[in-house]
Structure 1
Amino acid sequence: MAVTIALVAGEASGDQLGARLIAALKARLPDARFLGIGGAQMREEGLVAWHDSERLAVNGFGDALRRLPELLAIRRDLLRRIVDADVDLFIGIDAPDFNLGVERRLKKRGIRTLHYVSPSIWAWRGGRARKIKRSADHVLCLFPCEPELYAKHGVAATFVGHPLADEFPLFPDKAGARAQLGLPAESAVVALMPGSRIGEVEALADHFVSCAKILAGRFPDIRFLAPVLSRETRDRLAQAIASAQLDANTRITIMIGHSHLAMIAADAVLLASGTAALEAALLKRPMVVAYRISRFSYWILKRLMYLPWVSLPNILAREALVPELLQDDCEPGKMAEALAHWLGDSTATGLLIDRFETLHKTLARDNARRAAEVVLAMLAGRP
């Protein structure tokens, strides 16, 4: 009888991970059935989608509350279908707020569960690992430090590498990126990335533009690239540029998309904390991490977090490889000084790039193949 695997991915990145995993599994289990919730990429690989992954996307706590009845209805329907389909294994891909609850209920019914992409248990105090233990029989981790943390709580976990490390080249082509963007080969270039969400851009755009103005006074030929994801974030950044009354030396080009190309072309990157910091590290670009949230939110987070860093390069290295300018330190003068260090000190930049190359090699593990091997082991009855 063919193996039946249910998968749930809740956003675009999860859909991509799921599609790669299905492709790797089909190579070993050509008759397997794949059912559940996913996007276009998972459907293209053969997923029979009961719901589209976009239906699980929520934008903040308020949106989650408004859509709670819909999400609960989707969960009830999903659980019923999984039980009726006599599923051999359930794989929840990221989306922990939704998937861990599904996994916990299925585990109680005797269905084996696998959670793909560990929530950031290394960043937060409290019993998050214990909660995951109640839900998942096994966890697939993208970072090498995570399995040891799970082992302390009796949770089986496997490091499978990070998909971006497989995707990104070890040695990015800066000259090619600059030629593609029409940038001078010798000019200093800084990428400005104040976040993907409008709230982040609202908090950081004016500071990032003011930082660019300061740097333009120190580096006359400098160019700035500002990739954004939406019309809304583009308009807010354009407003910040217009309000700053920049002189002709401060040349900021707003780009829709192409963030990786902008980072490859740059000598340094100023960015909001998040996935972009890991992307910059894998693209071997010196960076400055800057972030600002409400004082109340920051007060709460400071008491929940137990690591002294917020950016993934520093967390993975367990040291301050790159500057983090948070809250009151997130101001244009300090940003400009930190970026000027990377632009002016080739020795420090070279040492940082060496560390990023080591990190890249650590994370590049043929992610989909390794994840598929764990799935096959679970189907065979092994932990």
Structure 2
Amino acid sequence: MSMVAGETSGDMLAARLLTGLRPRLTDSLMHGIGGPRMAESGFISDFPMEKLSVRGLFEVLMHYREISGIRKRLMQQLLDEKPDVFIGVDAPDFNLDLEIQLKQAGIPTMHYISPSIWAWRGGRINKIAQAVSHMLLIFPFEEEIYRKAGIPATYVGHPLAQVIPMNPDVAAAREELGLEPDARVVTVMPGSRMSELKYNTETFIQTAKLLLERDPHLQILVPMAGQKQRAYYIDLVLEAKLEDVPVLLMDGKSHTAIAAADAVLVASGTASLEVALFKKPMVIAYKMMAASWHVLKHMGYQPWIGLPNILAEEFVVPEFLQSAATPQAMADALWKQLSDDTLRQSLQQRFIDMHHSLLRDTASLSSQAVLDVISQHKRIA
């Protein structure tokens, strides 16, 4: 069996699937591209996952030759091997082209996490039909889209909804991090990708600086996805001359940092959904290369980019994008969330309802769907 996950969030999602599959496929070789969490289930990564962790049109173009080379080498390896199934985990720009050729060669293909065809580039549903034997869906509203398109699909819930407790233990998280129980805490999450750190770090830490001017006793937590991200973050902070802003820089422990927080400043992406499932007020912000933004800002179908807002179909939390993502605007929005108890309680209830809607036995449902696809292919063959 082969899988490809292209970034930290994909590694986490794939790892959840593997916890359901590994006990049922104890002797199977599982390899492709993945991260440390997948490795815990015996997954072997043939190429570094970080090579695929690039976001933005022009950023991808700058790395196109290297990424294309990785895909060609992996493609040939899989065509020679003919695995029982290939599962692309997110990373649609990399995985869908790979899946098309594998499917044409008679290898069953699955894709875990639908591309955001409901948000932009809806025409990709035609390419998905060519590429995917079966789709695993993590949002309930996607089922109708795939049913209408005639693409086999299974709603398996969102893995995070099982991993994150319905009632997070704030006191335990603060104790683990050495924080005072009654401290006022803001967690700052500029992103796990190097490109996200590049464009978000300075603005996010300037926001923290403004908040500290209002409340010098505020505790600022900054979790990093890995050592490379940590080193790059430090370089960016030094370059921006923000090293005097007092923050607790953490290796990993992002869930602990979120659980401990009173409010979170987070880059758009899976992390924003994690924050919602921890029932925390948040401000979503995102910046990217100017040329990429100029193209992408005209391509969306919806007014929201953050997953909590997309699921709610309204702006339940503020979003600040590109030039609107100023330290002053974000600090003001976070301060309101820190200060308004009625707002905090309202957000908490919205996020509890959201959590219930996403809660399924994801590992069991997704692993069973994989085994069904393998079994069906063997019967036909």
TM range (shorter): 0.7 to 0.9
Distance 2:69 2:202 in 1: 39
Report matched runs for 1:126-165 at 5 Å. Answer: 126-165=122-161
* 2:186 alignment partner, one of 175, 190, 193: 190
1:57 is matched with 51
State the TM-score, normalized to the length of structure 1.
0.85
Q: Shift of residue 198 of structure 1?
A: 3.8
Distance 1:308 1:337 in 2: 21
- CA shift digits 1:91-145 (9 cap, x unpaired): 3333333432232223324443222222222221341111000011210011112
Aligned with 1:347: secondary structure? helix
Q: Which shows bigger deviation, 233-242 or 268-277?
A: 233-242
Distance 1:141 1:277 in 2: 18
- CA shift digits 1:302-340 (9 cap, x unpaired): 221111111111111111111001122211221111111
2:263 is matched with 268
Report matched runs for 1:62-101 at 5 Å. Answer: 62-82=62-82, 87-101=83-97
Task: Please say if residues 205 and 240 of structure 1, whose CA atoms lie closer than 8 Å, have aligned partners that are also in contact.
Answer: no
1:285 is matched with 280
Aligned with 1:369: secondary structure? helix
2:199 is matched with 203
Task: Please say if residues 289 and 311 of structure 1, whose CA atoms lie closer than 8 Å, have aligned partners that are also in contact.
Answer: yes
1:322 is matched with 317
Task: Please say if residues 289 and 323 of structure 1, whose CA atoms lie closer than 8 Å, have aligned partners that are also in contact.
Answer: yes
Q: Which shows bigger deviation, 232-241 or 37-46?
A: 37-46
* 2:345 alignment partner, one of 345, 350, 374: 350
Q: Which shows bigger deviation, 352-361 or 199-208?
A: 199-208
CA 1:53–1:146: 2 relative to 1, 3 Å: farther
1:167 is matched with 163
- Give identity over the alignment, percent: 42
Aligned with 1:139: secondary structure? strand
CA 1:10–1:223: 2 relative to 1, 3 Å: closer
Amino acid corresponding to residue 109 of structure 2 in structure 1: T
Distance 2:125 2:103 in 1: 16
Q: Which shows bigger deviation, 283-292 or 255-264?
A: 255-264
Amino acid corresponding to residue 57 of structure 1 in structure 2: K
Indicate the structure (1 or 2) with the bigger Cα radius of gyration: 1
Task: Please say if residues 201 and 233 of structure 2, whose CA atoms lie closer than 8 Å, have aligned partners that are also in contact.
Answer: no
1:303 counterpart = 2:308: no
Distance 1:192 1:56 in 2: 22
Task: Please say if residues 32 and 74 of structure 2, whose CA atoms lie closer than 8 Å, have aligned partners that are also in contact.
Answer: no
2:367 is matched with 372
1:3 is matched with none
Aligned with 2:109: secondary structure? strand
Structure 1 gaps, min length 5? 1-5
Aligned with 2:297: secondary structure? helix
Distance 1:253 1:342 in 2: 21
- CA shift digits 1:30-69 (9 cap, x unpaired): 6x7445425566566466x5x6252683343322313533
Task: Please say if residues 93 and 115 of structure 1, whose CA atoms lie closer than 8 Å, have aligned partners that are also in contact.
Answer: yes
Task: Please say if residues 136 and 366 of structure 2, whose CA atoms lie closer than 8 Å, have aligned partners that are also in contact.
Answer: yes
Distance 1:280 1:81 in 2: 40
Task: Please say if residues 137 and 143 of structure 2, whose CA atoms lie closer than 8 Å, have aligned partners that are also in contact.
Answer: yes
Specify which structure has the bigger relative contact order, considering alpha-carbon pairs within 8 angstroms and separated by 6 or more residues.
2
1:360 counterpart = 2:355: yes
1:10 is matched with 5
CA 1:289–1:107: 2 relative to 1, 3 Å: same
Distance 2:303 2:329 in 1: 19
Structure 2 gaps, min length 5? 55-59
Q: Which shows bigger deviation, 337-346 or 7-16?
A: 7-16
Computed over aligned residues only, the root mean square deviation of the Cα atoms, in angstroms, reads 2.8
CA 1:123–1:266: 2 relative to 1, 3 Å: same
Q: Shift of residue 376 of structure 1?
A: 3.6
Task: Please say if residues 196 and 228 of structure 1, whose CA atoms lie closer than 8 Å, have aligned partners that are also in contact.
Answer: yes
Distance 2:191 2:49 in 1: 23
State the TM-score, normalized to the length of structure 2.
0.85
| Number of residue pairs the alignment of both structures matches | 366
Task: Please say if residues 209 and 241 of structure 1, whose CA atoms lie closer than 8 Å, have aligned partners that are also in contact.
Answer: no
Aligned with 1:358: secondary structure? helix
